[in-house]
Structure 1
């Protein structure tokens, strides 16, 4: 049997090790240190806005974003439904309620009409998700937010290197939040970032991400012995300097990593575009899709689970796409969202990472073609 082909794989090597060595030599390994500051300066170039706060993960960035924007217990936030539940969790962490809105059938981001229909007198904001990296409809969402006096947050967990109408992911809302989990396009294993053009929002998030006080680095070199006071509840949501060092090397790779993933997506389209049993992802007009994952829709007549097991038996890594959040028990009774529910039931992620070779891409496509032609019908 050929070597298994992983569903996802980071691209790391000597450059990342060299950056970690520099952090070790600096003596500052913990969070919010000088290497984090260097990463934050570099990441503003990626996000296209003036301020970045490095965080422990995307969930903490989403929570900080909402706190900085003034969320309160009892508020409602409209959330794109087809997403890992960290998006909805982040709303609940503040005692607010996520109200899930259905998504577009073609690119899986939140449907602006569904957002409009979900707004009530308790709504304070909108969180739009960029599914697997492709940006949502931010012009339409911005218009809705402005019309109703709401804030808009971009869940750009998968979207580093993406763009929408020439603007980079990170610059498309009041605040954007990124993930650097091991499956993402650039990664430190974990970690995240909050990006905004609003200095006051950035300052507020930075205070709250360090227990409610200024980071220790801000007191380095003081002529006195400053003792900070804790005047409000904050959190330990900091990225470590070790992670920030890795991210500096990853930012050097970003352009190449996105290009490699897009080349894989193009090849998959050429090799599987004629299959009637699957629906391939599409890149919408005026967008650059970074393809954090490559997710196909399995025909309703086929048993997706059986397809997945057969692919795995052939050494092809695969898994479901992401979640229809509204069906998760945590969120209680929710209105039916048929598009998101269908995507959740039919989607299957197949190998996508920047290290895939042409032979591996060919092997994946051939395996998919063979497996969907088997008699794996739903019971």
Structure 2
């Protein structure tokens, strides 16, 4: 047998949930309760706590962020023939929701530093069929919501925040989720808090959330709303709805995840600072920008690779050395599903050059340092 040292390289994954015994105990409690289905007591408890955490009066749990986005558009009255201005640099679930509501997404170009929608681009796109603005908090950092609101008010539009990645973020001390007329969150496995899947729709407007609550349960009030009645309430269907409910099993996990949120954010922010320091002065990459008037939750840490380097080669060499990585997200206007679109040069450039490296709350200091070391080595080799 060879007595040579073990040279196996540890793989450091791009993203990973932080879950454990507390989540298992919460799920066991739901099992004991007998209510595993959606829109039950665990969901209602999480909704109350989550609304408070994001600074809104109301919250509705949903099966995922895509269903939350679609429900939001429906209760805002979006219909065929309408146009909705959408941040271009985002996972296409944002634009898909507009298509699914029967409307047309009109994509706005982005700021080159934060990757959020450029207010000047939004203003230039307002037309006679525009009904609202769907602004994405890219990688969790909120965009320029004071400017977005001013544009919306000027033209009589609604403002909808896609806060899929934004749990725990703030904009000028206001929590992400409280920045528009409605906001949608994701609890997918890559997000800062997660039940594997799930989402939420939040708002200060009781009428919008009440309507969405009916639509997300086939068009009637959820069964839990009828618990405790001294009669036999028989709901009536006035419009066709959907099954967009979060299960109580998932809601139990989310209640624990919400308790964890401050610790999870602190770990991600420490990792981001370490990366920032490690890449300072490194030719060939630009680090992401965190603006001083908002708190970034660091759902993703994405570098911009210099045009003279091959992002594909950087990614290949990182993966060969055990470092997980991937492109940032999508330049939506380039996706064939949306048909022919006007050029959006900033978004297209970011889409071509951005590379996400490991960012999650389980990263150790040693893993963060190893990622930083390997990135520096690879970029230097290829420069």
TM category, shorter:
over 0.9
SS at match of 2:160: strand
Residues 15-43 of structure 1 show CA distances to partners (whole Å, capped at 9, x for unaligned) of 10011011111101111000000000110
Offset from partner CA, 1:138-163 (integer Å, 9 cap, x none):
00000000000000000000000000
- 2:214 maps to 1:201: no
CA distance in 1, matches of 2:292, 2:108: 23
How big is the shift at 1:375?
3.2
Work out the CA distance in 2 between the residues paired with 1:157 and 1:273: 29
Selected match of 1:295 from 292, 295, 302: 302
**Structure 1 residues 233-286: Cα deviation after superposition (integer angstroms, max 9, x where no partner):** 111111110000000000000011011100000000111111110010011121
Q: State the partner residue of 2:78.
A: 71
**Secondary structure at the residue paired with 1:340?**
helix
2:281 maps to 1:274: yes
| Residue 221 (structure 1) shift | 2.2
In the alignment, which residue of structure 2 is the partner of 1:344?
351
1:201-350 aligned at under 5 Å gives the runs 201-350=208-357
Q: Secondary structure at the match of 2:381?
A: coil
Once the two structures are superposed, what CA deviation does each residue of 1:96-145 show, in whole Å capped at 9, x if it has no partner?
Answer: 00000000000000000000011110000000000100001000000000
**SS, match of residue 373 in structure 1:** helix
Residue by residue, what CA displacement relative to the aligned partner does 1:194-230 show, whole Å, maximum 9, x if unpaired? Answer: 1101111111111111111000111112222222111
SS at match of 2:291: coil
Structure 1 residue runs of 5 or longer lacking an equivalent are none
TM norm structure 1: 0.98
Where does residue 64 of structure 2 map in the other structure?
57
The residue that corresponds to 1:375 in the other structure is: 382
SS for the counterpart of 1:139 is helix
For 2:310 and 2:60, the matched residues in 1 are separated by 44
Partner of 1:151: 158
Distance 1:129 1:97 in 2: 17
Q: Which runs of structure 1 show a deviation greater than 6 angstroms over 4 or more consecutive aligned residues? A: none
Deviations 1:57-95 (CA, angstroms, capped at 9, x unpaired): 111101111111111111000000000000000001111
Q: Specify which of 11, 20, 27 is matched with residue 20 of structure 1.
A: 27
Partner of 2:91: 84
Task: Quote the residue 1:3 is aligned against.
Answer: 10
Aligned residue pairs, count: 376
Once the two structures are superposed, the pairs formed by residues 166-185 of structure 1 within 5 Å of their partners are 166-185=173-192
Q: Does 1:106 align with 2:80?
A: no
